[in-house]
Amino acid sequence: MTAAVQTHVGEKVLPVTDHTIVFGRIETEAAIERGAWLTGIVTGIDFGADQIRTILHLLGVSVWLGGQILMLGLLPVLRKIGGDAPKLAAAGFGRVAWPAFGLTIVTGIWNMLEVDLGDVTSGYNAAFGIKMILVVVTGMAAAMHQSTNKPAIRGITGALGFAAALAAFVLGATMAH
Ligand code: HEM
């Protein structure tokens, strides 16, 4: 029997037939074997530990980097409000940003354990090394940025921390498996 609905089996799009159920079961078993234990009956999509690892890494990254972009956008508004507004907002951002940075590092180490670093190209290794330097730079610059009371140093470290995070993001995306 053939229904009008279509389903993905691997790369192919097939009409739903009795055979699809068999294909679906095979796909599901293969997905579970790959560690995609939540995939269930959805074929052609994996959801498991690998996806959770990537989601958590990118969640940390999005708060650390995206939060800085948001702060840049809010700064003129906060200055307009005046008083302690910029300082209070920066402190509020710090309470969210540092745990997010911690999450990025912990999940980054998890990434390293999952990616077989003995089995990557020298280009990948170089990108990874540069990214690690950028991670140290963004963390150190942000720490200096929030602790200095010299406006010039605050400006330079703010820009440096942001640029390093953005560059780490670009390199990270090229490293994705
Ligand atoms: C601000 C800091 C960081 C940024 C912006 C960043 C960004 C990214 C991005 C965008 C990806 C691609 C995600 C994907 O689609 O798989 C990625 C992957 C990766 N990151 Fe990071 N990351 C940061 C910190 C770290 C740290 C500290 C480590 C290691 C200790 C790390 C190790 C990795 C590895 C090994 C991958 C490849 C994962 C895979 O292929 O499955 N990252 N990162």
User: What pLDDT shows up at residue 48?
Assistant: 86
Contact 63, 49 (CB under 8 A): no
Which residue owns the Cα nearest ligand 1 atom 25? 108
Please report which helix (H) or strand (E) contains residue 9, including its range.
strand 6-9
User: What pLDDT shows up at residue 3?
Assistant: 46
Which residue owns the Cα nearest ligand 1 atom 41? 177
User: What pLDDT shows up at residue 4?
Assistant: 46
120 ligand 1 Cβ < 6 A: no
Read off the pLDDT of residues 29-79 as tens digits, 9 standing for 90 and up.
777 777 777 666 566 678 889 999 999 999 999 999 999 999 999 999 999
| Annotated domain spans of the chain | 1-47, 49-175
User: What pLDDT shows up at residue 165?
Assistant: 98
CA-to-CA distance for 65 and 109, rounded, in angstroms?
A: 19
Output the average pLDDT for the chain: 86
Residue 160 has pLDDT above 70, yes or no: yes
98 falls in which pLDDT band (50, 70, 90)? very high
Ligand 1: which of 62, 69, 111, 136 to mutate, most ligand atoms within 8 Å of CB?
Answer: 111
Give the CA angle between residues 28, 34, 38 to the nearest 5°: 55
Which residue owns the Cα nearest ligand 1 atom 5? 169
